[in-house]
Amino acid sequence: MNDQLPEIFEHLKQINTKAYCKYSYFPVSAAIQWDSNRITYGINVENSSIGLTVCAERHAVGAGILEGESRVKRVFVYSQARDFLVPCGACRQVLTEFGDEETEILMFDQEGNHEATTLGAFLPGMFRLEED
């Protein structure tokens, strides 16, 4: 996976400029690596009714579901902020629908450095439908 990080970072940086963020002026891009190793991408798309804004992580999840994916292996997040950007609470909950406590989350800074954690560390005690 580490050999793909520079490529993923560069793509996130490139698509970050396409985010529709005319309310917050805070572009975010994300990628999801699925169990199949397919990678889908997303950007934030804001709306004047803030609750209807779609975060980059949820956009990337939707792109994967459209392609027939079902299990998130890894999440990548990038913004132009100085610090590492973490997924918001809504995104964390959506990610639990398709991932689990061990789902890895990598956050990039502007230079391509990254910090890694897990979904379980961000959302302890997560709730989700347990399938038989």
Q: Active-site residues: which are they?
A: 57
Structure letter (DSSP) for residue 4: G
Strands (E), the chain: 28-34, 39-43, 72-79, 104-108, 114-118
**Of 83, 71, 60, residue with least CA distance to 34:** 71
